[in-house]
C-alpha cells in the first residue's frame, strides 16, 4: 500500500506542476514574423493573439493580398511557436509519458 501512496503523491505533484505551468503559459508571450520582420505578431502560449505590428512600408493599397498573406504568416508563426513552447513546458513535467487526455 505504501507504493500506492507514493504514486498518488507523485500524481498530485504532477497535477500541481501542470496547473502552475499552464497558468504561466497564459502569461508567456512569443513573437512570430513574416516578410523579414515587416509584419510581427505576438501571441500568448494559451493560443491568444496579443498584437500585430505592421511596418508602414509594406502597406500598399494596390496589393492588399500580399499584406493579408504577411499578417497570416506572422500570426501562424507566432501561434506555432506558442504551441511548441506549451508542448516543451508540459513535456518537462510529463517526462515524455503518454497520458490519455493530456495531449497538447
For the chain, give every domain's residue range: 45-94
pLDDT digits (tens, 9 = 90+) for 18-32: 899 889 989 999 999
Q: Tell me which of 43 and 9 has the higher pLDDT.
A: 43
1-10, 36-45, 46-55, 84-93: least confidently modelled range: 1-10
Q: How far is CA 69 from CA 33, 35, 64, 77, 104, in A?
A: 11, 9, 9, 12, 27
Chain center to CA of 20: 15
In degrees, rounded to 5, the angle at the alpha carbon of residue 77 between the alpha carbons of residues 54 and 47 is: 100
Distance CA 92, CA 11 (A): 14
Amino acid at each position: 500500500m505504501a507504493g500506492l501512496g507514493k504514486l498518488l503523491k507523485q500524481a498530485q505533484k504532477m497535477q500541481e506542476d501542470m496547473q502552475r505551468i499552464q497558468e504561466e503559459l497564459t502569461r508567456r508571450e512569443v513573437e512570430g514574423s513574416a516578410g523579414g520582420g515587416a509584419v510581427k505578431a505576438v501571441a500568448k502560449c494559451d493560443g491568444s493573439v496579443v498584437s500585430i505590428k505592421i511596418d508602414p512600408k509594406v502597406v500598399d493599397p494596390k496589393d492588399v493580398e500580399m499584406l493579408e498573406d504577411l499578417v497570416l504568416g506572422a500570426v501562424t508563426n507566432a501561434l506555432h511557436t506558442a504551441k511548441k513552447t506549451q508542448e516543451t513546458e508540459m513535456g518537462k513535467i510529463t517526462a515524455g509519458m503518454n497520458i490519455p487526455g493530456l495531449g497538447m
